[in-house]
Amino acid sequence: MSREPLIDGHGRSIRDVRVSVTDRCNFRCQYCMPAEGLPWLERDGVLRFEEIERIVRVLVEMGVTDVRLTGGEPLVRRDFPVLARMMAGIEGLEDLSLTTNGYLLERDADALADAGIRRLNVSIDSLQNDRFFEMTRRDSLPQVLRGLEAVARRPELAPVKVNAVAMRGFTEQEVLPFAQFAREGSFQVRFIEFMPLDGDRGWTPDQVLTGDELRKIVHAVHPLEECPREPSATARTFRFADGRGHIGFINPISEPFCSDCNRIRLTADGKLRTCLFSMHETDLRTPLRDGADDDELEWIVRDAVWRKELKHRVGEKGFRQPARSMSAIGG
């Protein structure tokens, strides 16, 4: 069935939902969580596959067309390809994608493709073993790269985007190796500005290495030409002038793209978030488990989305970092 389109109070049509399937992760990235990790949700507190499928189906009936499955690290969720297949079977869903750290891709690439995943974002912050370990606190780069090779053998999973969080004092040394990586293979590299969503709560503005700074470093060696921006896109994408690949820059701090944001988020414990930096959440798990029907779920979602924030206000006076870190929200 179809329902009235999902529109927020600023007239933006909501078409994209990021679904966190777990808060657990097998890495400990500096920009995300402390070295010792974070307290995990109790198993019963995490949405079951059938509950995720039901919420997403209602959202799709309201006009959501794109679903991205995230974590934590989604592939640590037991039987994850089963959930992916359930999502792919929702009538009206046009795009099903996955964000992963890549550690289990070598194992799961075929199962993901067969289940209906069609696009992948793989987080890799360095192409050097020692620096990869420094950032993730895990000695796992060779396994992640083998995962990329496994994905490359399944053309239905293209395009594959490699995401690197840009942190001042670290990423400057990574920019040109990543640019060369993008030029030599089939992967599009994207740099994401460091956001105040770290579990250590140590973020400061001077740690942000901006997309413009990164672009200038690349452009000085490999001239770039900007591609047209698609509506609601998060990245500014550039093609290499000689035609050898693309590279992108996601700049939520220096160049916010809130004005046409079409995204909402569902956390692993069933909370609806209308912005990465929301200070408030809407509980969907409780009414779901208390017997709410689809019409009641629709009303709860509409009420929350109508109050979606106009912008994130990072860098403005009085900004407060949300209590949840990125791993607990869903990337």
| 89 found inside a domain | yes
Task: Give the span between the Cα atoms of 260 and 232, in whole angstroms.
Answer: 5
| 252 found inside a domain | yes
| 321 found inside a domain | yes
pLDDT digits (tens, 9 = 90+) for 73-92: 999 999 999 999 999 999 99
pLDDT at res. 318? 81
pTM above 0.85, yes or no: yes
pLDDT digits (tens, 9 = 90+) for 255-271: 999 999 999 999 999 99
pLDDT at res. 315? 84
CATH number at residue 126: 3.20.20.70
| 6 found inside a domain | no
Q: Angle 148-153-155 (CA atoms, 0-180°, nearest 5)?
A: 105
Question: In which element (H, E) is residue 191 found?
Answer: strand 188-193
| 10 found inside a domain | no
Name the band, by pLDDT with cuts 50, 70 and 90, for residue 182: very high
pLDDT at res. 200? 83
Q: Which of 72, 321, 294 is nearest to 201 (CA)?
A: 321
Name the band, by pLDDT with cuts 50, 70 and 90, for residue 37: confident
Which tokens hold the place of 183? 């030029």
Which tokens hold the place of 250? 């996601």
Which tokens hold the place of 322? 């949300």
| 128 found inside a domain | yes
Q: Give the lowest-confidence range in 170-184, 224-238, 268-282, 314-328.
A: 314-328
Cβ proximity of 191 and 214 under 8 Å = yes
| 3 found inside a domain | no
Cβ proximity of 67 and 52 under 8 Å = no
Residue 121, domain extent: 16-329
Domain count across the chain? 1
Residue type, 303: D
Residue 249 per-residue DSSP state: E
pLDDT at res. 330? 83
| 156 found inside a domain | yes
Q: Could you identify the residue written with the tokens 């395009």? A: 159
